[in-house]
Every structure is written in structure tokens, then in C-alpha cells.
Structure 1
Amino acid sequence: MTHEDLEVWRQGIELVDVVYDLTRKLPVEERYGLSSQLQRAAVSIPANIAEGSGRDTTKDLLRHLAIAQGSLAEVRTLLVIVKRRNFAPTTHVDDADARSKSVARLLTGLQRSLRKKLNSE
């Protein structure tokens, strides 16, 4: 199985698409600040899932999933800032937030499952 078979990776890629669409709505003066940071954090999620799934051990995969979880928390925090500052239409921010919550659920479930597997070995 590859990372492309993982639903969490596929939804992570969809989150990246939504985040890139959202950052086009942000003020021009945020292009190299908030926009860039939001894009990098979003890209880090599926990238770390892919990197971890390409590793040899469950422990390595879990380490990369934890990094993805941290990047997801960063994305969610930046979305709060975008919404509070009224930098983008609420519907766009809410869509990105809903997708981030979906990725969070899948990521947490995968981590839980892998920890059980690791503990039973």
C-alpha cells in the first residue's frame, strides 16, 4: 500500500487545493506572510503522510504523522486568524476549516490504529 491509497492523504491533498484557493482571496499585503505560511503548512500535511508511509517502520510513519498533525494544527490556527481579521469570505474559510477537521479525524484514527499495532508487536 502506498500513501496514495490512504484516505487521509487524499483528503490532505484536497485541503491543499482549498487552502490555495482561499489564499487567492487574501489581501495582497499578506501574500508573503499569512498566505505563504498557510500554504506551506497545508502542503506539509500530505507531504509528511507520504514521507512517513515511504519509511520502513511503523514508528517512522507515526513520527511523520505527528509532524502532519502539528502542521494541521498550524493550518487551523491560521484559519482562525484569517476569519477574525475578515481577510477572506467566511464561506471559504469555513470550507477549509471543515476539510481540516475531516483530515484531523482521519489522521487521529490512523495514529490510534498504528499505535495499537505497534504495541501488539
Structure 2
Amino acid sequence: MNFKFEKLIIWHKAMDFGEDVFKVSKRFPKEEIYNLLSQIRRASDSIALNIAEGSIAQSNPEFRKFLAYAMRSLAEVVTCLHKAKRRNYINDLEFSTLYDEAFHLMNMLGSFRSKIK
């Protein structure tokens, strides 16, 4: 591994989370292709992308800013999960599993961000 972000556990967790969201979203109806489907996929991918982008920042405050963007994207995914559950695109178990992953990742991001001065 050559890039700094590839050594970060939170980046790996975010990558896995994005793939889990992608798999579940494959079953969303076609009418959601430009709405909820697109939104949840872009937001879930954005988490890892922001971690990676921030890791090459020139300063720690800039890295913290990108971690905050990742956290916002994660909150967006959680909201999309709620929408998907309300619309019966995902079942209770899928929602709970992804929600728990999101909660754990949010705590990891918050903790990591607080350690960067």
C-alpha cells in the first residue's frame, strides 16, 4: 500500500460500508434511479472519498474539514436508509445492520477527527 489513506482503518470501513449500501440499493425500483438510488450511492461513496482526499491535505485542520465532510455524507446515507425503509425498499434487518455499521463508523470518524489537532 502506497497511499497514506490505505493504512487507515476508517477508510477500509468506509469502503466496506459503501459496498454494503451499493448491494442493498440494487433492489431499489427503477423510478428511484435518479432520486434515492443515486443519492444513497453517491453519499456512501463520498465517505471514503473524503477520507482519502483529506489524508493528503497540507494541514491537519484541512484534514479535519474533510473528515467532517465524510461525517455529513454518512448522516445523509442514514437519512436515505430511513427513506428506503419507509418506502419498503429494505427490510428491518437490512436497515438495522446498515444503521449499526453507520453508527460505528460515525463514532470512529468522530474519534479520529478529535485526535487530529
Supply the AA of the counterpart residue of 1:99.
E
Structure 1 gap ranges (5+) = none
1:19 alignment counterpart: 21
Higher helix proportion, which one? 1
State the identity as a percent: 31
What is the TM-score with the length of structure 2 in the denominator?
A: 0.92
Shift of 1:28: 1.7
Deviation at 1:93, TM superposition (A): 2.3
The equivalent of 1:71 in structure 2 is 73
Q: Which runs of 4+ in 1 moved over 4 A?
A: none
Report the Cα distance in structure 2 between the residues aligned to 1:54 and 1:96, rounded to whole angstroms. 28
What amino acid is aligned across from residue 2 of structure 1 in structure 2?
Answer: K
Q: How many matched pairs? A: 115
Please tell me the root mean square deviation across aligned C-alpha atoms, in Å: 1.2
TM-score scaled by length of structure 1? 0.89
Letter in 2 for 1:93: F
Please list, as runs of the form range in 1=range in 2, the aligned pairs for 1:10-49 lying within 5 A after superposition: 10-49=12-51
1:85 aligns to 2:93 (yes or no): no
**SS of equivalent residue, structure 2 residue 109:** helix
1: distance between equivalents of 2:26 and 2:91?
A: 11
Shift of residue 56 of structure 1? 1.7
Show structure 2 runs of 5+ residues with no match: none
